[in-house]
Structure formats: structure tokens, C-alpha cells
Structure 1
């Protein structure tokens, strides 16, 4: 937080900017400088300070965030300059994430409403969705190849098994939060029925808002209030379960930057090693998968803890074209083969 003298200095710099800066490009550069100068943490939705600065300016001007290069030399009016700097000042002073300030985040190139009831979308699983989990499943004309060139697009090899199964008919997004993963899945698999579950009623309210905004997929989507699998109908057998559950360990939770404190604690925290929920998912998931079904689970920085918990299990850790880690895939057979290992941890947690 800024003290009184620092705030006075910032306001002086903003007054100077209104007088001296003219173009969109000028203001993006100014935003970058100020975000860096004040050590603002950029890690929710993007880790690129250039992208964050561009979003501050372009969103304020009601322009596409990927605006054409030619527009960057257009001039701002004085009132537009004031609006841009007001948003920048809130970002610096409050340390509130930009997505909460403007109630907007993008995931799989789709817009989503977000507020403090849900995490800001940022999972690398978006790449798997855009490539339709190829080559585990077949692809169709909605697939987005992430490698090669514009003239010769190719699939990026994330590390999924090459099974080329028919596209999933039933999908579960476990711990759905804002609903971004579920809605993105429905958009890429238009013939699939997607269940989106969460324990938090408030999060499901946000997911409902987003489902209504993406009305072309509402017939595919079903929101379920459930503590993991507790209220998922036993007869539901899914070809694909995708989950980005809470996975932050207690040490990390105690040292989070101010920006992360705006996010719901229960959507981040998962016990001493960050795996309290992941153990349960691993044990129960095969009861809800088809025989060829696939579980894709994000554990982020708790990857090391998961490796230590199950040293004899060979997890399929995926790689990503645009960065990101801590996501593994396991099919039905692998989950069943190792179920007794998973049972041990679930029983241990139940005794605590």
C-alpha cells in the first residue's frame, strides 16, 4: 500500500502524464512503467505486464484487447486519459486484480464475468481444450492447432496418450468456479453434455451468469452443487473429467501477495501439502469414468508434493506451448491400478 507521500507523488506523475502523453501507445508504456515501479504482482489471468498494461488502456477505451497495431498511435481525449489513469491508480493502490476491477477475464478466447466469489481464470488446461485433448480424442473443425505456422498449423504435443477415441459425449468439470472450463469445453465439444459442479453456491451463481452470457451452449450445461462427487449421480459415467481444484499448500497461503488475498480462500487452500482434495479426486474418479475415460487434473506448484506422496506411480505430466505446469492425466485403467495407494491417503484424511 502507498503511504500519503507516495500517493501525492503518484498523483503528480498522473497530472504530468495527462499533459504530456498523447497516444494509446504512450499510455500503455506509462502503465507498464508504473506497474513495475510499484511492484504490482501480475499473475492472475496473465503474467505479462505488457498484456496487463494494454488491457488497462484498451478496455477503458472500449477497444479489443488485441487491437490492430495502427490504432496504437491514435490520440486520447483528456477525459479518456483521466479514465485510464483512474483504473491504473486503483490497480496500484488497492492491489486488486484487474479482472476484479473490470469484472472481465478471458479463457480459451472467450469472455467471462468474474468477481471476488471466484478465482480468476488462468489454467493452462485451456490449451488442451483448444486442441480438444488431441490425440486422446479425435478432433473436428473446431480444433485450434497450437504449433507450426499459420500456413501449416500443427498439433502441439502436450503428452496425452494417442488413442484417437471418439469425442466425449459426457464431460464433468469438477470444482468449476466461474464455469469457464465447463463453458469452454461445451464450446469445443458441441455434441457433449457438460456437468459443472462446485461446493460453493456463490461460485455457482457466477457460473450461472456466465452460462447465460454464452447462451448458445446453455442446453449442454448443467450446474450441480456438490462437495466433489457427493451429489454427482452414480449413474453418470463421463468420458472426460477435468478439474482445477484448490491445491495451494499452507506455507504458500501464508505468504500470498496482496492481489491473491482478494480471491476466495477456500478456492485456493488445500491443507498442509495442498493435496487434501486431490487425494479424494484420485480415489473416487474411476467410479465416474467410462472404461476409456480420462481424468485431467491441475495441481500447480503442488506437483512436487504429489510426486513425493506417490513415488511408485508414474503420473503423465503434461507440457504446454505457452507455459504452465502441474497438470497430469490418468485414464481409467491407471486410476484403478493405483487405487489402493489413493485409498490409503483418503482414509488417512478421514481420520484427521
Structure 2
């Protein structure tokens, strides 16, 4: 079917959702960029393309679409199938706990467990049992910031903090700069280009946040096209996925204030990390999809002076 055929035959959002699911299933697409099924991915692509709430499909299912809207959806469904790019690259937007961020192929599509943890710990009724008091945090840093999403959330959750954000990719920092402006935090978040803590010589923080590349080489080799569409540097964590995590553990003590700590996402390397660092007291944090992908460790446990 041509685009004209599709737009003449399909008129409601329900029509396009059903059509997208059928196309996605037939093409055996892969998911994991904020969605896990063809239905969820189709719903995100359609709703975000129409600038509708991405978690509210039912009220709009039987709405008749304008001709321009039909064409846009038909083109994006075709692009999702033919290019195998993540849907967020097609709409230019991704979300963490409902907060919208601008994205393109210069950055990995944000989907960190840390975002969920920050929301659950700081929006919970009794506050966090391990993270610092948000009003007491005066300095924070986001290492491997990518699109800047976690740095933006840090600025929102820690209203008294100045936040540094570091990435090795100049392209990623350009996207991060867009998100700082989008969320009106450019006056409180400073971007730095460099390798982990290298551009931060002498600086110490109350909180280190980091979601570094942590995919091992075997997993990289098996990546489907959707994941290969993202910058390889944002995934590559070395042979076992923990090269950068080891460096972060080694270098973090020099950049932490005594009462501070580090929250770090590592993927599936818990067993390797605990065997290699038996003397460290990792606190593993549970999320909706994982029990051991993120750890918290205090400055004291790391031996920070």
C-alpha cells in the first residue's frame, strides 16, 4: 500500500494503532527504548507524533484524524519499519517518568533506572533512606551525561545545588545544551567535555550520578538494528562491560565530600563487581525492572577523605 492508500483507508487513531502493530510484528522489530511490545511502541510513536500524552491512548482511539496527521503517522510507521530506528529518534523526544527530553542520533535514547529511583526516593512520602537530603545537596555531578537528562533531573530535585555534567562526546553535549534550555536550568548546570572526572580536577561533590556505558562486547555483537542506531560509544563498556565502572569506583573518592556518595547504573555486572571489590559496601537499589542494575555507595565506604 502507498501512503495515499493508507491515508485514504485509515481515518482514526485506532486504525493507525492497529496498522502499526501489524507492521511492527510482521517486521519483527526490537524494543527496549522505553517500550517493550509492538503495541506500546506503536502507541508511543503515534501519541508523541500528535503531541498527545504518551500514557493516555484510550480517550483518543476513535478520534478522526486530519489529513496532515494521517500522512505524518503513515510516514512515521513506515520509517520505523524501514529504518529500524527507535521511535524516539523519529519523534525527536524521549521521556523519563513523564519528563520530556529532546533526543536525536547524537545521543543514546534516555532510559536510565536512576531516573525512576530519583523520583521514587524524593517524591515518596518519607523521603530517601540513603540518598542525601535534597535541600542539603549543594553540588552534584552527572558523569556520562549524554542528553543531559539526569543532570536536568538533579537540578530539579536538588534546588540548592550547582550541577556539573560531563561527557566525552561533543555531539552529545550539544543535545544536552538543548535540554538545559528546554527545562530552564542552564544557569545551574555546567557542561564539560572530557573523560569521566578529567575536566573536574580538584572539584568535590555531595552527589555523583552516573550511567556510564556498561554493555559487554558479546552483547554488543548481538545488538539488533534499533540499538546499533545509537552511538556505539554510549554502550561500549569493554570486554565485560565494567571498564568505566572500575574507573569510577577508583576515581570517585577524590571527588566526593565526606557525607556524600555515588549512585551508579551498571546493567548486569553485579556478580563481577562484588567479587572484584569484596571490601566495598554496595547498596543495590530495586526498580520496576531490576533489583541489581544500580548501586549506591557512600563516600565513607569508598574511603573518601
| Cα drift, residue 243 of structure 1 | 0.1
Provide the residue aligned with 2:86 in structure 1: 97
| Contact kept? 1:249, 1:302, Cα under 8 Å | no
Once the 2 structures are TM-superposed, how far is the Cα of residue 117 of structure 1 from its aligned partner? 1.4
Offset of residue 34 of structure 1:
2.1
CA contact (8 A) 2:13 2:61 kept: yes
Change (3 A) 1:248 1:183: same
What do the CA deviations read for 1:63-104 (whole angstroms, capped 9, x no partner)? 232346332211124443232121011101110111112221
Structure 1, unmatched stretches of 5+, are 1-10, 135-142, 146-153, 340-352
Task: Confirm or deny that 1:144 pairs with 2:123.
Answer: yes
Instruction: Determine helix, strand or coil for the equivalent of 1:59.
Output: helix
Q: 1:163 to 1:194 in 2, by over 3 A?
A: closer
Contact (CA 8 Å) 1:248, 1:302: kept in 2 or not?
A: no
- Whether the 8 Å contact between 1:107 and 1:184 is mirrored in structure 2 is no
Deviation at 1:51?
Answer: 2.9
CA distance in 2, matches of 1:189, 1:247: 27
Change (3 A) 1:308 1:39: farther
Counterpart selection for 2:219 from 241, 249, 252? 252
Q: How far apart, in 1, do the equivalents of 2:67 and 2:127 lie?
A: 46
Question: Counterpart in 2 of 1:7?
Answer: none
Equivalent residue, structure 1, for 2:189: 221
Does 1:208 pair with 2:177? yes
Over the residues paired in the alignment, what is the CA RMSD in angstroms? Answer: 2.5
SS at match of 1:176: coil
- Point out the structure with max Rg over C-alpha: 1
The CA deviation at 1:16 is: 6.5
Contact 2:280 2:301 in 1 (8 A): no
**1:287-306 equivalences in 2 (<5 Å):** 287-306=254-273
The reply to whether residue 318 of structure 1 matches residue 285 of structure 2 is yes
- Name 2:151's counterpart in structure 1: 182
Partner of 1:230: 198
* 1:125-163, Cα deviation, whole Å (9 max, x unpaired): 1122224xx4xxxxxxxx433xxxxxxxx4698xx5387
* Normalised TM-score (structure 2): 0.90
Report the equivalent of 2:300. 333
Is the contact made by 1:108 and 1:184 (CA closer than 8 Å) also made in structure 2? no
Structure 2: distance between partners of 1:162 and 1:181: 15
Q: What is the rounded CA distance, in whole Å, between the counterparts of 1:239 and 1:82 in structure 2?
A: 50
Matched-pair contact (CA < 8 Å) for 2:46–2:73: yes
CA-CA distance at 1:48 after TM superposition: 4.3
CA distance in 1, matches of 2:76, 2:219: 29
Structure 1 residue 107: Cα displacement: 2.2
Partner of 1:194: 163
Q: Offset at 1:327?
A: 0.5
Distance 1:17 1:270, change over 3 A: same
Q: Distance in 1 between matches of 2:298 and 2:152?
A: 23
Q: Does residue 38 of structure 2 align to residue 38 of structure 1?
A: no
Whether 1:55 and 2:44 are equivalent positions in the alignment is: yes
- Structure 1 Cα separation of the partners of residues 97 and 59 of structure 2: 25
Task: Please name the residue that 1:279 is paired with.
Answer: 246
Show structure 2 runs of 5+ residues with no match. Answer: none
Does the residue aligned with 2:198 lie in a helix, a strand or coil? coil
TM-score w.r.t. length of structure 1: 0.79
Q: Equivalent residue for 2:77?
A: 88
1:24 has 2:13 as partner: yes
